[in-house]
Structure 1
Amino acid sequence: MIRHFVLLRFRDDVTTEQKQDIFDALAGLQAHLEGVRGFHAGANVSVETDLIRGFREAFWFDFEDANARDAYLVDEKHQAAGARIVEHTVGGIDGVIVVDLEL
């Protein structure tokens, strides 16, 4: 299984509703793509505030395998959601960190 984990540093002017709309679009990918085992999103509640460096939200997908993850990466709906994320993060792509873990 592959856990695709994404940390986000949204701009201060991005509303809670805008963030939720992005997360809802991502959640909708579960029904659209094969091999998605789960999706979660929410606030970073770490007490290590000096270490989060403004990355206050996160989401992750659990994929059945690397092939399912790779299909997600090139999917048009995923790429549209990704473009929306980049539009709303500090410094665009600099406001996004991606980590994939093999579980």
Structure 2
Amino acid sequence: MFEHLVLFKFNANYDPATGPQLVETLLSFKGEIPGIVQITAGVNETEETDNIRGYTLGLRVTFENKEALRQYGPHPKHQAFVQMLTDILDNVVVADYPIQ
């Protein structure tokens, strides 16, 4: 299996009221994008304000294998989500690694 972790940092155009819609869209990937074993997403609620550095949304996706992860990027549902972020995304951190 392969793990895909993403942290999204949004700019001043981000409306916190849209957070639940973004999370719902991400969670809908499980039934619609092949190869996803498990997915979690949520708006950052950390109380460790010294460490938040402005990252607002977290995503964790477990894929069947590395090839499923590779197919995820160009998938139309994923690309539609990327388009939702066009005006609000400031930065993103991604980590992909194999898991047992």
- TM tier, smaller: 0.7 to 0.9
Is 1:42 matched up with 2:38? no
1:59 and 2:59 correspond: yes
Q: Give the length in aligned residue pairs.
A: 99
TM superposition score normalised by structure 1 = 0.81
How far has the Cα of 1:99 moved from its partner? 1.0
Whole-angstrom CA distance in 1 between matches of 2:73 and 2:59: 15
**Distance between the aligned counterparts of 2:60 and 2:34, measured in 1?**
16
CA contact (8 A) 1:22 1:85 kept: no
Are 2:96 and 1:100 aligned? yes
Instruction: Provide TM-score, normalisation by structure 2.
Output: 0.83
Deviation, 1:13, is 4.4
More strand by share: 2
CA contact (8 A) 1:2 1:62 kept: yes
The 3-state SS of whatever aligns with 2:10 is coil
Specify the code of the residue in structure 1 equivalent to 2:97: L
Between structures 1 and 2, the one with greater helix share: 1
Equivalent in the alignment of 1:19:
19
Q: 1 CA distance for matches of 2:75 and 2:42?
A: 23
Given that 1:7 and 1:98 are in contact with CA atoms closer than 8 Å, whether structure 2 keeps it comes out as yes
Contact 2:12 2:88 in 1 (8 A): no
Percent identity between the two aligned chains:
27
Which residue matches 1:87?
A: 87
Contact 2:41 2:60 in 1 (8 A): yes
Q: Which amino acid aligns with 1:100?
A: D
> For structure 2, which runs of at least 5 residues remain unmatched after alignment?
none
Q: Aligned letter for 2:25? A: A
